[in-house]
A and B are shown apart, each in its own frame.
Chain A
Amino acid sequence: MSNASRSERNRLEFLESGVIHALLIAAVLFALYPLLWVVSIALSPGGISTSHGALPLPTHPSLWNFHALLGKGSSARAWLFGRQLANSIIVAVATAVTAIGVAIPAAYALARFDFVGAKTGMRTLLATQMFPAVASAVPLYLLLDALHLLDSRAGLVLVYASTAVPFAIFQLRGAFLAIPVDIEEAAMVDGATRTEAFWRVVLPAARPAIAVTALYAFMSAYNEFILAATLLSRESAFTLPVVLQRYVGEHGAAWGIFAAGAIVVSLPVMALFYYAQRHLVSGLTAGGVKG
């Protein structure tokens, strides 16, 4: 190959990578733009004002909105907010733990054993996924009322788990099906009981799928608004989506505080994603068996 054509090719490669980077930067800006706005509004004491231009820059930057969100110095209000934040996190974690805890054995059984009702069970689970949660809001209200679980974290977890569990079973069944039986058998020949083979081989191999599923269950519970708004009426039982909605409710919209709240709500999620990253390395199972 001649030198000329080689440098020609290098130039093309350079151009190509330049274009790719430009596109990526544009995409990132596109995704970040609304977020930057939220930050900007949160830092502007008056919330949205007409003096804002197209650029997301706060007018008179201050932390006033955060101050207001946390009760303007009233420790009772601050406590309440803390409690509501705790509600959100506890409910979401409990939902994720319940979903994973129930789904792991169920999904494993559905993936590995052929038993009476396995097919019907799967179909029923699928059917439960077809109805939007709102459709069952009223019956759920009556049900929780009868169980004296209205306005409680346990009641909310129960409701969220009823959709998170079937979804998790589906996800994890797929994950278990993708793990070859051979490696379980290898473990058993190597000296493991069936239970040990499950804990030491199957579960670790399914870890990325389990992490994703747990994260999904956490997020859907953490963000859920409609059912929470229906089933909770005591302020101290609120989860954050319900709290935030009140700032932009009937009595005029306090967008600044809302934006500050949105940022506070996002922090635990960002921390969680950051932590979960290393569990999400996909394709851990790929390569254990031939190929």
Chain B
Amino acid sequence: MTLPHEQLSTSVSVASASSEVSAPATAPKRKLRCSVRGAKKSFGQNPILRGVDLDIEEGAFAVLVGPSGCGKSTLLRLVAGLEELDEGTIHLGERDVTHAPPRDRDVAMVFQSYALYPHLSVRENLAFGLKLRKTSDKDIDERVREASKMLSLGELLDRMPKQLSGGQKQRVAMGRAIVRRPQIFLFDEPLSNLDAALRAEVRVEIRRNHDQLRATTLYVTHDQVEAMTLADTLWVMNGGVVEQKGTPLDVYERPRSEFVAGFLGSPQMNFFDAKLEKEGDRWLAIGEGARIAIGEERFGAALTEGRTVRAGVRPHDLVRAEEGQPIAGNLHVEIIEALGFEAIAHGWLTASGPRVIARLDADEARKAKSGDSIPLAVTPGSAHLFDPKTGLALDAK
């Protein structure tokens, strides 16, 4: 299982060159900062990670998303050295750190709870790791000053943690990581204890800091927006394995499985049990009150007459049909959520079918009311198809 690292990195760069994740061909190949191979981990009888591979290029921002309990934090803690692998290897830079204790890994971690040292002032919190590593006082001063400028911690430096607000604690926790200048930053849901407005603000700040420092980062979240906006590469986990990796847009537009499609995107994608039929030269997925036009070029040979599929359409691609547009179904409106610039309509196409969510623009939303029937159309080429048994997307490769 343990490959020499050189061999490992070549095999990986070959793999990533052919994957849709890779940078434009002109960009120089970046070195790997973190690579996890075949990671397995159980707690007692419970397998939590069932063989995970993870690569992060130098300077990249990798985001791990997935539902609660899928093993994101466990994977992060394995990289930090706070848990020990059952099987597999972890390399940071050139070094095999599979069995190294956390202090020898040169990683910094921002905890969900912030985990500031309660008996130390902000300044001492920032300096703690540097002192342990016997950094000179002059260097410590300089780095603390630098980090506190970057995060506007200036007037907080002499306060104790209990005198800080949640947002300030969060910034101190980030500062404590930044002063360390580690090989890799690890974040475990760092924003989940902040209110929505602050979360949005800090999210941007994290991205800005990253762009400035270019520090390799592994970031765990189950917040869609964070995942989509922060990631260079998105890793979607489910049940202890990586279901899909790629750029956020790629994963959003071409989900490899029904799980990924349903997990990413808010409101959630609509799914219909349907059969494929050909009408003239057009392919349709028909079922549960929906007649969804399918883009032929996307699915190619997967389209066979009478095949049962799961058809998926994002709410944003399910809109009021214009005159002359083919109608995908009639939405019986139950509830309208007006968001201002647009509205979300909840309802169903047939009483026996699934709940359906569609997008209305603000004007329509003003007119529409509960009990209405609205003809819907699907944005051409936007429908996804999945195999009902395997859950995998039917996209032609």
The chain A residues found within 8 Å of chain B, CB to CB, are 180, 182-183, 185-193, 196, 200-201, 204-205, 207, 283-291
Q: Which residue of A lies closest to B128 (CB)?
A: A190
Other-chain contact of A288, B101, B129, B132, B162 (Cβ < 8 Å)? B162
CA distance A187 to B119 in the complex (A): 13
* Across-interface contacts of A201 in B (CB, < 8 A): 117, 119
CB distance from A192 to the nearest CB of B (A): 6
- B163 part of interface (Cβ distance < 8 Å): yes
CA distance A196 to B164 in the complex (A): 26
CB distance from A282 to the nearest CB of B (A): 11
Chain B interface, number of residues (Cβ within 8 angstroms): 35
Q: Which of B142-198 contact A (CB under 8 A)?
A: 160-164, 166, 169, 176, 180, 186, 193
* Across-interface contacts of B244 in A (CB, < 8 A): none
Other-chain contact of B116, A188, A196, A289 (Cβ < 8 Å)? A289
* Across-interface contacts of B102 in A (CB, < 8 A): 185, 188-189
CA distance A289 to B193 in the complex (A): 11
CA distance A180 to B42 in the complex (A): 23
B113 and A189 contact, CB distance less than 8 A? no
Return 21 A-B CB contacts under 8 Å, by A number. A180-B113, A182-B113, A183-B115, A185-B82, A185-B109, A186-B176, A187-B117, A189-B80, A189-B186, A190-B103, A204-B117, A205-B117, A205-B118, A207-B119, A284-B119, A284-B162, A287-B162, A288-B118, A288-B162, A290-B114, A290-B169
Complex A-B, nearest 8 residue pairs according to Cβ-Cβ distance, in ascending order: A287-B162, A288-B118, A190-B129, A182-B115, A191-B132, A186-B115, A204-B119, A289-B113
Q: Which of B80, B129, B166, B176 has the most CB of A within 10 A?
A: B129
Other-chain contact of B103, A182, A193, A291 (Cβ < 8 Å)? A193
CA distance A211 to B164 in the complex (A): 26
- 10 further A-B contacts with Cβ under 8 Å, apart from A196-B132, A288-B161, are A185-B102, A186-B117, A188-B82, A189-B102, A190-B129, A191-B129, A204-B117, A287-B160, A289-B113, A289-B114
- B242 part of interface (Cβ distance < 8 Å): no
A287 and B164 contact, CB distance less than 8 A? yes
B128 and A288 contact, CB distance less than 8 A? no
Q: Which of A193, A288, A289 has the most CB of B within 10 A?
A: A288
CA distance A291 to B81 in the complex (A): 27
* Across-interface contacts of B112 in A (CB, < 8 A): 290
CB distance from B283 to the nearest CB of A (A): 52
- B133 part of interface (Cβ distance < 8 Å): yes
- B218 part of interface (Cβ distance < 8 Å): no
CB distance from B178 to the nearest CB of A (A): 13
CB distance from B55 to the nearest CB of A (A): 22
* Across-interface contacts of B82 in A (CB, < 8 A): 185, 188-189
Q: Which of B113, B133, B193 has the most CB of A within 10 A?
A: B113
* Across-interface contacts of A180 in B (CB, < 8 A): 113, 115
CB distance from B139 to the nearest CB of A (A): 15
Given A188-B101, A188-B102: A288 touches B80 (CB 8 Å cut-off): no
CB distance from B174 to the nearest CB of A (A): 13
Other-chain contact of A186, B81, B111, B119 (Cβ < 8 Å)? B111
- B107 part of interface (Cβ distance < 8 Å): yes
A288 and B117 contact, CB distance less than 8 A? yes
* Across-interface contacts of B108 in A (CB, < 8 A): 189-190
CB distance from B367 to the nearest CB of A (A): 45
B118 and A285 contact, CB distance less than 8 A? yes
* Across-interface contacts of A196 in B (CB, < 8 A): 132
B118 and A192 contact, CB distance less than 8 A? no
B118 and A284 contact, CB distance less than 8 A? yes
Other-chain contact of A190, B113, B132, B162 (Cβ < 8 Å)? B132
B166 and A192 contact, CB distance less than 8 A? no
Given A188-B103, A189-B108, A190-B128: A289 touches B119 (CB 8 Å cut-off): no
B161 and A290 contact, CB distance less than 8 A? no
Given A191-B103, A193-B101, A290-B114: A186 touches B163 (CB 8 Å cut-off): no
* Across-interface contacts of A205 in B (CB, < 8 A): 117-119
CA distance A190 to B179 in the complex (A): 11
* Across-interface contacts of A290 in B (CB, < 8 A): 112-114, 166, 169, 193
CB distance from B132 to the nearest CB of A (A): 4
Q: Which of B132, B160, B166 has the most CB of A within 10 A?
A: B132
* Across-interface contacts of B118 in A (CB, < 8 A): 183, 205, 284-289
CA distance A267 to B120 in the complex (A): 34
CA distance A185 to B111 in the complex (A): 9
Q: Which of A182, A287, A290 has the most CB of B within 10 A?
A: A290
Q: Which of B102, B109, B193 has the most CB of A within 10 A?
A: B102
A289 and B115 contact, CB distance less than 8 A? yes
CA distance A288 to B117 in the complex (A): 6
CB distance from B251 to the nearest CB of A (A): 29
CB distance from B40 to the nearest CB of A (A): 22
CA distance A192 to B117 in the complex (A): 13
CA distance A118 to B80 in the complex (A): 29
B114 and A187 contact, CB distance less than 8 A? no
* Across-interface contacts of B128 in A (CB, < 8 A): 187, 190, 200
A283 and B166 contact, CB distance less than 8 A? no
CB distance from B75 to the nearest CB of A (A): 15
CA distance A153 to B112 in the complex (A): 51
* Across-interface contacts of B176 in A (CB, < 8 A): 186, 190
* Across-interface contacts of A204 in B (CB, < 8 A): 117, 119-120
